[in-house]
Amino acid sequence: MKFEETRETVLSELQTVFASIDPDQVEKMADMICASEKVFVVGVGRVLLMMQAFEKRLNHLGIDSYYVGEINEPAITDKDLLIVGSGSGESIVPVAMVKVASKFKPKIIHIGSNPQSSMTPYEDLFVRIPCSTKLNLDDEIKSRQIMSSLFEQSVLLLADMTAMLIADRKNITDLHSLWRKHANIE
């Protein structure tokens, strides 16, 4: 196998996925983030890593954000937003976290592929990335990549597109100025 073949596979699959994402859902997510006091992200495995990248960017944009399990994680309240990344919506730990968190009445967004999951009753917004996951639903986009790579890549790109929408809504025009909020001990 040649690099060119894998490049073509990944980039064309991403084109297909993003053509099928509902713009309204993403813009609604940007609005909900801007309206929240704090944001908490949840995920497992590589999806958690992508949600942490989202969290880091939100902090650059001046939005206090944490991942559930972070050492300095504060208590969640009804003014906050919980964003769960989970393709199937059935991973045990995120589902348990959503159930506990829901007692404190934050808004809840689920970024996933499966529109009818154990998380559905708890969600204020579902942002669909219709990539094939373990569940292999009929209307999901199939991937030639390893495991859930396509979903994970899509979560990162979606997060970064959402960050651009937020910067615009917050009138942050000098993007370079964001480095000032960035960790400076590296």
Contacts to a copy of itself from residues 33-72, by CB under 8 A: 40, 44-46, 49-50, 52-53, 55-57, 59-61, 64-72
d(CA 56, CA 68): 13
Q: How many residues bind a copy of itself (CB under 8 A)?
A: 80
Q: Considering the complex, state which of residue 7 and residue 79 has its C-beta at the smaller distance from a copy of itself.
A: 7
Using rule CB under 8 A, residue 78 touches a copy of itself? no
d(CA 47, CA 88): 12
What is the phi-psi region of residue 177: left when phi exceeds 0, alpha when psi lies from -120 to 50, beta otherwise? Answer: alpha
Using rule CB under 8 A, residue 105 touches a copy of itself? no
d(CA 83, CA 44): 13
Among 81, 89, 91, 130, the residue binding a copy of itself under the rule CB under 8 A is 91
Angle between helices 45-60 and 149-169 (to 10 degrees): 10
User: Binders of a copy of itself among 139-158, rule CB under 8 A?
Assistant: 145-147, 149, 152-153, 156-157
Using rule CB under 8 A, residue 96 touches a copy of itself? yes
The nearest distance, CB 121 to a copy of itself, in angstroms, is: 17
> What b-and-e string marks burial along 13-33, b requiring 16 or more CB atoms within 10 Å of the CB?
bbeebeeebeeebbeebbebb
User: Binders of a copy of itself among 107-136, rule CB under 8 A?
Assistant: 134
Using rule CB under 8 A, residue 10 touches a copy of itself? yes
